[in-house]
Amino acid sequence: MSRMLEEIRQQPDALERTLRGELKRVERFKKLVEKRRPRLIVLAARGTSDNAAQFGRYLLEITTGIPVSLAAPAIYTLYNARVDFRDALVVAISQSGESTDTNLVLEEARKQGALTIGITNEASSSLAKLAEHVFFVHARREKSVAATKTYTGQVLMLYLLAYALGGKIRPGDLARLPERAHSALRLEPEINALSERYRFMDHAVVMGRGLNYANAFEFALKLMETCYVVAERFSSADFLHGPIALVEPNFPVFLFAPSGVTWPPVREAIDKLTQLKAETVVITDAGNRDAAQTPTRLIRLPQRIGELYTLIPYIIPAQMFAACLAAQKGLNPDHPRTITKVTRTL
C-alpha cells in the first residue's frame, strides 16, 4: 500500500487534531480583527496550497464580503513591483513553510505593515518565523510527495479564518467534518473497483463550480502528478464556452456535484456531455437525489451535506481514486518522476 493511501486514511484524525489545536488561537485572532477589520485579503500559495487558496477566495468572499485576491508572486520576485498592502490581511499558505516566493510575498507585506498570517504544517519553518500570526495544520509529517492530508488541513484552517473574520461558519459544523471524512473513506472498495475501468486513461477533464472549483484543480493535479494523466480543469461555465469541443464519445469527465446553487449549471453540463456520449463520473452526496437520475457513474457519499461544507468530504474520494488508479497503472504515487516534496521557485 502506498504512503499516499495511508495518509489519505489519516485525514479524520488530522482534522480533529487541527480543530482541537487551533480553535483557541483562532478565537484570540477573532477578537483582534474585530478591532482591525481588513479591507482586502491576499492569499499567497503554490501547488496544492494554491488550490486550497482558490477555495479560500470563494469561501471568504461568500461568508465575509471582504474582497480576496490571489497573489501572483512573480510581481514581487521577478518584476520588483511594489504593491500597496495597507489595511490588507495577507495570508501565506504552504505545507512545508519553505516556498521561497510565497514567503517573499509575506515578508514584503509585513514590511508595509499589513496584518500577516501563515498557515503551515511545519512549526519550525521559515514561514512560521515570518508571519505575525501562525495557524498550524496538525497533520504530522507528510511523507508522500502527493499532498493529501495537508490539503484538507489547509481547507479546515480557511474555514476557521472565515469564522474569525465574522463569516457565518459555525465551529459545531466544522466539528462534524472528521466523521464526514470517515464516511468518505468507507467508499474505498467501490472507488478501487471503479479505478480499474480507467487503467488506460491518459487524458481527462475535471469540473467543479463555485466552492468546488478548487477541488477540480486539486483532483486534476493529483491525476497529473501521480497517474501521469493529462487532466484539464474547468468551471462548468467556462467549459461550455469552448473547451467542450474537446469532447468525443467515451471522453472521461469527472464532476463535483453538490446540491444547492451550483447544481443547475453542473446538471446542464452533464446533459450536454451525455448528448456527446462522454464518459462521466459524478462525485456527490445523498442530498442530491437528482444526480442519481443522470446517466452517469456516481461516487456518492451516504450523508446529506450542505454545499458550504462539501470541500473536504468530496476531495477524499478523488484522492483515493488517484491513489488507486496509480496502483492500477503500476505507478508509485509517493515518488512521482521529477517531483520533490519541497519546491522552491522565484
Q: Which DSSP string do the residues of 127-172 spell out, in sequence order? A: HHHH-SEEEE-------SSS--HHHHHHHHHHHHHHHHTT-S--HH
- C-alpha 13/C-alpha 16 separation (Å) is 5
Residue-level pLDDT at 270:
95
Residue 332 — φ and ψ, nearest 5°? -100, 105
Span 159-172, average pLDDT: 97
β-pairing, 252-256 vs 230-235, is unpaired
Q: How confident is the model at residue 345 (pLDDT cuts 50, 70, 90)?
A: low
In the chain, where does the domain assigned CATH 3.40.50.10490 lie? 3-175, 179-328
- DSSP letters, 174-242, are HTTHHHHHHHHHTTHHHHHHHHHTTTT--EEEEEE-GGGHHHHHHHHHHHHHHH--EEEEEEHHHHHTT
Residue-level pLDDT at 243:
87
**Architecture of domain 3-175 in this structure:** 3-Layer(aba) Sandwich (3.40)
Strand partners, 88: 40
Determine the 3-state secondary structure of 282 from DSSP: strand
- C-alpha 64/C-alpha 55 separation (Å) is 14
Residue 160's identity, in one-letter code, is L
CATH number of 179-328: 3.40.50.10490
Q: How confident is the model at residue 208 (pLDDT cuts 50, 70, 90)?
A: very high
Mind listing the pLDDT tens digit for each residue in 50-108?
Answer: 999 999 999 999 999 999 999 998 888 889 888 899 899 999 999 999 988 899 999 99
Span 260-268, average pLDDT: 95
Span 178-188, average pLDDT: 98
Q: Which residue has the higher pLDDT, 186 or 336?
A: 186
Determine the 3-state secondary structure of 122 from DSSP: coil
